[in-house]
């Protein structure tokens, strides 16, 4: 029933098939179609209230999701985290999981896309100017499907130049890093410091001086053919792509160990790479002015990139 409802919304008579690029519009679309609280609207009409607590206070949760070759990659894992994040902040999603899953897929269909990036957002909803979430009667849900290029292609062959920043990762005692909330000010302040340094990405430490994560990515260290990554308890988001690296490592006959890492461990690493839904798997060639390994993409990182690309092209929930 849910699928039938969304199909009726999609003007499939306006679409043709193309052997090279999949579904294409016979008539050019003027704007992206945005899912907003049960309807698809043109991008200029996708508006939320200025009293929405997602805007006023960053009160809400979100997911960034990739889709490749007409399939949404790791969709169920992203939905798991979204519902877990919402539960952790006592936010009841207004859609059952099957309906939300179909809304994600239909947003891709509405925009005739086979490859790109999805932003799924659930805010606390419209309330008053106070903090009390009980004044918000109904959550707001919107979904954007578009294309994305987080880093230019050259960084996937040359590596990122990164720095560590003064801004520390918020303590897990204050806000669990497992919650993917709309409040990213901690990361944004670190990103600003990285921009001032001229870095493509920045590394945040926790209050104990251990490496937590990058501003938008998880971090992996390779030393003497062994692979390490910070504990989630050190302040790292339990990234979906991070989790995938553990699966790929087993495929490759390797093992990833979670451990406490310091800046010194980064400086003397043979290889470094970062992972994220937007970034995918991207090598790091320099940290705080220290060249990492040869300063180019290392063999273990290359192996992870190859296995990741194969997985993205062969798995996922079909859109069409």
Tens-place pLDDT, residues 38-51: 999 999 999 999 99
**What is the pLDDT, as a whole number, of residue 149?**
82
**What is the pLDDT, as a whole number, of residue 30?**
59
Residues 127 and 271 occupy one common structural domain: no
Residues 134 and 160 occupy one common structural domain: no
**What is the pLDDT, as a whole number, of residue 58?**
98
3-state DSSP assignment of residue 52: strand
- Distance, CA of 154 to CA of 266 (rounded, Å): 22
**What is the pLDDT, as a whole number, of residue 150?**
82
- Distance, CA of 229 to CA of 243 (rounded, Å): 11
3-state DSSP assignment of residue 145: strand
**What is the pLDDT, as a whole number, of residue 31?**
86
Residues 10 and 97 occupy one common structural domain: yes
Residue ending a domain, among 129, 148, 167, is 148
Residue entry with tokens 């849900």: 141
Residue 45, domain CATH:
3.30.470.10
The residue ranges of the chain whose pLDDT is under 50 are 1-29
**What is the pLDDT, as a whole number, of residue 1?**
42
238 phi, psi to nearest 5 deg: -75, 75
For 7-19, the pLDDT digits (tens) are 434 433 333 333 3
**What is the pLDDT, as a whole number, of residue 71?**
98
**What is the pLDDT, as a whole number, of residue 2?**
41
122 by Cβ neighbours in 10 Å (0-12 / 13-18 / 19+) ranks as buried
Q: Do residues 170 and 215 make contact, with C-beta atoms less than 8 angstroms apart?
A: no
What are the beta bridge partners of residue 218?
275
- What are the helix and strand counts (H, E) for the chain? 9, 18
**Does 133 fall in a domain?**
yes
**What is the pLDDT, as a whole number, of residue 26?**
35
Domain of 270 in residue numbering reads as 155-314
**Does 320 fall in a domain?**
no
Residues 171 and 208 occupy one common structural domain: yes
Count up the domains in the chain and report the number: 2
- Distance, CA of 110 to CA of 10 (rounded, Å): 6
**What is the pLDDT, as a whole number, of residue 7?**
41
**What is the pLDDT, as a whole number, of residue 148?**
86
Q: Which residues are catalytic?
A: 180
Q: Do residues 223 and 269 make contact, with C-beta atoms less than 8 angstroms apart?
A: yes
- Distance, CA of 166 to CA of 205 (rounded, Å): 8
Single out the residue of 229, 277, 255 nearest to residue 81, CA to CA.
277
Half-sphere exposure of 311 (CA within 13 A, CB side): 19
């Amino acid at each position: 029933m849910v699928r039938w409802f969304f199909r009726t919304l999609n003007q499939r008579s306006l679409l043709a098939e193309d052997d090279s690029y999949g579904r294409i519009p016979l008539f050019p679309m003027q704007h992206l179609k945005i899912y907003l609280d049960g309807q698809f609207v043109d991008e200029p009409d996708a508006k939320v209230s200025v009293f929405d607590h997602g805007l006023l206070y960053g009160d809400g949760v979100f997911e960034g999701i990739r889709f490749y070759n007409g399939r949404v990659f790791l969709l169920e894992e992203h939905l798991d985290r979204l519902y877990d994040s919402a539960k952790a902040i006592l936010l009841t999603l207004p859609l059952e999981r099957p309906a939300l899953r179909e809304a994600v897929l239909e947003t891709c269909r509405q925009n005739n896309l086979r490859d790109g990036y999805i932003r799924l957002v659930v805010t606390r909803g419209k309330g008053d100017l106070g903090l009390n979430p009980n004044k918000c009667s109904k959550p707001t849900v919107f979904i954007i499907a578009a294309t994305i290029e987080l880093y230019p292609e050259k960084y996937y062959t040359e590596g990122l130049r990164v720095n560590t920043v003064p801004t520390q990762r918020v303590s897990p005692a204050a806000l669990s890093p497992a919650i993917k909330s709309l409040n990213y000010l901690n990361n944004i302040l670190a990103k600003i410091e990285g921009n001032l340094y001229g870095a493509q990405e920045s590394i945040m430490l926790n209050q104990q001086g251990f490496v937590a994560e990058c501003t938008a990515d998880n971090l992996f260290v390779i030393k003497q053919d062994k692979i390490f990554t910070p504990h989630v308890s050190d302040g790292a988001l339990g990234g979906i792509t991070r989790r995938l690296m553990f699966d790929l490592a087993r495929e490759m006959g390797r093992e990833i160990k979670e451990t406490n890492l310091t800046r010194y461990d980064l400086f003397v690493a043979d290889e470094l790479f970062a992972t994220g839904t937007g970034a995918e798997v991207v090598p790091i060639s320099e940290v705080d002015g220290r060249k990492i390994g040869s300063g180019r993409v290392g063999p273990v990182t290359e192996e992870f990139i190859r296995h990741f690309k194969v997985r993205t092209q062969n798995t996922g929930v079909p859109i069409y």
